[in-house]
Amino acid sequence: MAALKHRRTALERVEKFLSEIYFTDCNLRGRLFGDSCPPALLSCFQTPQRIQYDEAIRQEFQPAKVGDSFGPTWETCWFKVELSIPPAWAGREVHFVWESDGEGMVWRDSQPVQGLTKEGEKTSYILTSSLKKSEPHSLTLYVELACNGLFGAGKGSMIAPPDPDRRFTLSKAELVVFNRNVYELLVDLEILLDMAKLLGEEDQRSFQALYTANQMVNVCDVMDPSTFPAARDLAAAIFSQRNGESQHTIHAMGHCHIDSAWLWPYEETIRKCARSWVSVIRLMESNPELTFTCSQAQQFEWVRSWYPGLYAQIQRFVAKGQFIPVGGTWVEMDGNLPSGESMVRQFLQGQRFFQEQFGQMCSEFWLPDTFGYSAQLPQLMRGCGIRRFLTQKLSWNLVNTFPHHTFFWEGIDGSRVLTHFPPGDSYGMHGRVEEMLKTVKNNKDKGRVNNSAFLFGFGDGGGGPTQKMLDRMKRMSDTDGLPRVQISTPDRLFSVLEKESSQLCTWVGELFLELHNGTYTTQAQIKKENRECERILHDVEVLSTLAVARDSTFRYPASQLQRLWRLLLLNQFHDVLPGSCIQLVVADALQYYAEIRRAGAELQEEAVQSLCGDLLQPEAASTESTLVLNTLPWERTEVISRTEPARAKTLALVTVPSMGYAVVQEPLVPPQPVMVRKEEDGSVVMENGVIAVHLDVMGRLTSLRLVDSERKPVVTLLRPLEITLAGGLRGSVSFSLQVGASSTVTQEITLDASCPYLRFLTQVEWREAHKFLKVEFPVQVRSMNATYEIQFGHLQRPTHWNTSWDWARFEVWAHKWLDLSEHGFGVAVLNDCKYGASARGNVLSLSLLRAPKSPDATADIAHHRFTYAVMPHQGSFQDAGVIQHAYNLNFPLHVVPAGSAQCLAWSSFSVSSPAVVLEALKQAEDRADAVVARLYEAHGSTVVAWLQTSLPVKEAMLCDLLERPVARGCLPLELRGVRLSFTPFRLLSVLLVLGR
């Protein structure tokens, strides 16, 4: 006769039967492992270096034992483990169990075979599933132990700066008999228990699961394995009860997000990749249905270089369709701060790598963990053959819940991509019932789509999927009360979503993350170097391309440029460029930037020598004229500083044609010289015929106006000042002030002849903690929206806080400029290396420096140099040339001493419309006789533009961002050049084949 069951009592009974803490002497959990024995011999050696296996095994090993501690942080311990399996274990499943702090890798026969980490639930290496006489009973393993955890070594909390003195303890190293039948029964009961708890008392299925689990406890004698099959049959009866046809389908994919650097340095990431991926390979060998998605070409390249044996195994499983490269980019880059051209190169380098190594390109962009997503990304994806996008980071929003999980995302040019956020709001699921139910319940697009992604595996610091995760999901593949779960692929998921997409909504514009706004400003030196190195590589490519076209003996430095680009792209990883990394990573990044600057300067000098060699004067003492090169696609008239024969520095006003050069002997006379005048009250007035400036005795900029306008946008700055240049071609004043307890700011405010903006050359000695340095410009302009430059275009954001969506954007990101305009008048703020900005009401703000203390306690504590400028203008910012002037600020003219030879100015490229910017000029990847010119529409207009060139072009065609010619893309060569049609913010790449 059935007994009355009390729900809470039954739950408690099953919980204790599975507990890892209570009653393990008599419950099922306590029977998971059988006999055990220690290693025959255990020894180790320790090194501060991350060395290769072949070098490690030649070292002198010292005796070690369980309980020993090792360290400090970032050291590496290599253990030699000599094992002898007892013959009595014949027919049993035997594991080598290793439990320690830190992250381990098992090496066997010179190859990595298994990653080990307690945090990633990987503490054993399976030696055999059933010990046979023919198998070796004595063997030697090596364990490489990194003295850092899955999430680094934060002192006191995960994101605190690393504890340099942490010790890492070995707590277990032994051979054990693994009772597979106990394990399978445990997984059955865990799932039934979760169903009972999570489906709720109002659900019939909850009670069925609970009573089945209770009955399994009844029939199961933990001392008698012969009772286990009957218990398992009870579970199977529940799991085999099928769903209805309308049930939601979950597409489960193995995943292991590995930050290329974050709370650990780049070098440790290489080992994290190996530890994680070799574990995946072991799982695939025993689970042929497992699929694993893996992004970041850089990480594949690391493993290819450091672990060739493992890489060969990965290639085999890629060919089988189980190990799936995704994303198409070099790294999972920041989605806000890299320039448009840098983002193009992420895809160009990534997609070409995947094609070369695996014979396939990625069809989906994969960026689950970054701090926001530029509104130009849809166009960049489409230009690289990608129409699908997966992320989940917006689930972290601090204020507003994003309204969709599956939708079309439309960029500022109108390009659309099918976008999916896994509704479980995580890229590191564990295959639990709770996560499956959340995925269904949380889905914001019920009724529109009935399929969703489920990415399972430990992530961020690596780890990846485990066998238990797979075994849980096998039981939930089609079980009544739970969503269907199938091991799937990105292509299978997105193909189904495309079929269901007719009712999907569309989100237009940026995907703004309402969190981590400080990442637009932190680690200012990294951001400055990023902007500078983007400029260097741009200029080297332009000058090298022109040198190739004019000098048949010059060789385009393709391999050198690829190496430098890859260093820059690596540093654009979403925890490096945003500055959310530890100090060790900052040091690595700055070293890479220094290499880009060093090698870039050499390549630039070689290109200039080839391009202009007959104009250059090797004897500096006899210099009589100056060669000035312009790498931007418009004519520029600017004040330069040049060296006279007596080595004195002088100023000169010069005009240089677009993407070309001019030899300057007699400088231009400005239409109106700069006037600098000190008033009786000690204030200073500067004027150049374009703008007029008034600074009071304390250095406050009290008036900045257009000479032909009465408008007075007001800005505020402090400190006594003095005149440093009295006028003519340049006027300037300088001052210093103290900010905070121990920091100083020194500024030189400069006005050049004919220049429409006022520059602030700024030096800061920054010694603050938890402080934020901003500059604000209160201006006499009223507008509901301000405009901010983004990659290949701009967008508007509100200047008011009407809604929660508005005030959540209290701090936003921009690139080289932001502008506040009303009809007929506006003010722009330009910068050469800053990204954080805001506009509230009539106040334009630029974020200069921060002083956070985690995860880098020394962040930004340094000497800083940067420049920003303020530019009042009549008309729209487009008509006033704000875009071009921001480029000019960021791409200074190149000034080179030249001989006395007469030379006409030369221009290689120009564009007929100021709305169109020629952003990049480079040699084609696969054709040494072709050049790629990349242009974009910058005003937000529909326009026809002519690309004009003096190079010997014999053929022109449109190509995509991967430089593949597009269908019907041939362009006729006409007298005016190549005719190009643009819609707002459209990006075009033109392949120009050169004749000789």
Annotated catalytic residues are: 369
The pair phi, psi for residue 393, each rounded to 5°, is: -65, -25
Asked whether the beta carbons of 634 and 658 are under 8 A apart, the reply is yes
CA-CA distances (angstroms) from residue 754 to 379, 641, 656, 663? 37, 15, 15, 20
Q: What single DSSP character describes residue 781?
A: -
3 state SS of 219: helix
* 600, two tokens: 């870039």
Q: What token pair was written down for 847? A: 């974020």
Q: Are 876 and 828 in contact (CB under 8 A)?
A: no
Residue 351: C-alpha distances to residues 326, 345, 613, 941 (Å): 10, 10, 37, 31
Q: Which string of DSSP letters, residue by residue, matches 101-163? A: SSEEEEEETTEEEEEEBTTTTB-EEEEESS--TTS-SEEEEEEEEESSBTTBTBSSSTTSPB-
3-state secondary structure of 471: helix
DSSP state letters, 227-289: GHHHHHHHHHHHHTSPPPTTS-EEEEEEE--B-SSSSS-HHHHHHHHHHHHHHHHHHHHH-TT
Strand-pair partners of 725:
732
| Helix 308-320 vs helix 340-358: crossing angle, to nearest 10 | 90
Amino acid letter at 818? L
> Which residue is it, tokens 């970054």?
370
Asked whether 871 and 828 are in contact (CB, 8 A), the reply is yes
**Identity of the amino acid at 395:** S
In 10 A of CB 360, how many CB atoms? 13
Separation CA 24–CA 546 (nearest Å) = 76
d(CA 239, CA 241): 6
CA–CA dist 544, 610 (Å, integer): 9
Angle among Cα 313, 317, 322 to the nearest 5 degrees reads 150
Kind of pairing between the strands at 660-664 and 674-678: unpaired
Helices (H) and strands (E) in the chain, counts: 19, 52
| Beta carbons within 8 Å of 805's beta carbon, 6+ residues apart | 399, 400
Instruction: Please give the span between the terminal C-alpha atoms of the chain, in angstroms, as a whole number.
Output: 98
